[in-house]
Structure 1
Amino acid sequence: MSEDNQKKTPAQGVPLNEDNYTHNIRKFHERKLDRRSFLKTMVGAAGVFAVSTLPWGAIAAKHLAEGSKRVYPERVIGSAADLPVGEALEFAYPGEHDTALLVRLGDGEYKAYHNACTHLKCPVFWDKAEGDLLCPCHHGVFDVRTGRPKAGPPRRPLPEIELAVKQGTIYATGVKRYET
């Protein structure tokens, strides 16, 4: 074979003796990713994602299976004498960063709900004039006696907080499980 017909490698600095227009592109160190390799990569990534969500699914299943067995701390909200009829008081329950709203409806009649709207978690406020709980973000309206939505985009009721009154002091004792 003569020297003119020999192919020289790109490592020698001379392009291959080819009759195409891509002779100046080095293809030797490129990664090959054909359709089959791409699909294998995607299936592998989906498998890793699925396996990584298993612990969270187990925690959720355990929480749903426990149901009403979940124990919440008893926490003092305030004095019944300090909250006039028709007024509301904001407090934190069950956690330090979980805000809630207590409304005194009458003598010895109290209702408390988490004050995060069930639509997009905007804060819910007490409207004394209308006697409803309002979400100003999307004009959601909740019934103060049941926590169920009356108007707006919310479809689920507000989570109700269980209360107890002992010797003139109002306590939060738990959170009612959501029932459809």
Structure 2
Amino acid sequence: MAEKKNTVRVEDDNYTHNIDRNNERALDRRGFMKTLVGAAGVFAVSSLPWGTIAAKELMGLADKEYPEHKIADIKDVKVGDSVEFHYPSEHDSAVLIRLGENEFVAYQNACTHLRCPVYWVKDQQEMVCPCHHGKFDVKTGAPTAGPPRRPLPEIIVKTKQGSVFAVRVKRYEA
């Protein structure tokens, strides 16, 4: 009796009878996951040196010294007035405020909430962030109103030879 050409033998009667196992793809689900984990591992190991450099830089910020920067001559700043300047780099905006005859304070003037500029309002004797109505105490830089939770980074200043100089940035400590 002749067999029909288009029939399937009983022992091969399942849905995978037409798969030729020798021609399957070499990368199955498990192989794909191994490749993915391996690639992630290579990426993690290759980025480790940069992460180490960044961590060293961030941990050393409190001790980092910058060159002295002349802000203004004392005679040019009246009591209650402010002077804007850049410190420690040209991209870091700051404000110097003369509170008394021999009392000066300076802060980086980027709000600690969303980095909006902070302004000295002489009439109200307070530092104000207009973006979200944040306010800061002029003597300490601590937030007194609004969404900011951290104080403004203080810039340590000193006076010598009739001028005010920025000498370093006092970092926020949690």
TM-score (normalizing by structure 1): 0.75
1:100 equivalent to 2:80? Answer no
1:173 equivalent to 2:173? Answer no
Please give the alpha-carbon distance, in whole angstroms, between the structure 2 residues aligned to 1:31 and 1:141. Answer: 64
Within the candidate set 116, 124, 134, 1:130 is matched to: 124
Secondary structure of the residue aligned to 1:91 is: strand
Letter in 2 for 1:101: V
Please give the alpha-carbon distance, in whole angstroms, between the structure 1 residues aligned to 2:161 and 2:67. Answer: 19
Secondary structure of the residue aligned to 1:85 is: coil
Q: Equivalent residue for 1:24?
A: none
Letter in 2 for 1:35: R
Per the TM alignment, residue 137 of structure 1 is displaced from its structure 2 partner at its CA by: 1.5
Identity %: 61
Distance 1:38 1:72, change over 3 A: same
Count of aligned residue pairs for this structure pair: 160
Within the candidate set 88, 107, 128, 1:113 is matched to: 107
Please give the alpha-carbon distance, in whole angstroms, between the structure 2 residues aligned to 1:83 and 1:174. Answer: 21
Within the candidate set 149, 154, 160, 2:154 is matched to: 160
**Aligned Cα root-mean-square deviation (Å):** 3.0
More deviation, 137-146/54-63: 54-63
Within the candidate set 133, 142, 149, 1:139 is matched to: 133
Per the TM alignment, residue 175 of structure 1 is displaced from its structure 2 partner at its CA by: 0.7
Distance 1:98 1:36, change over 3 A: same
Within the candidate set 43, 67, 87, 1:73 is matched to: 67
TM-score (normalizing by structure 2): 0.77
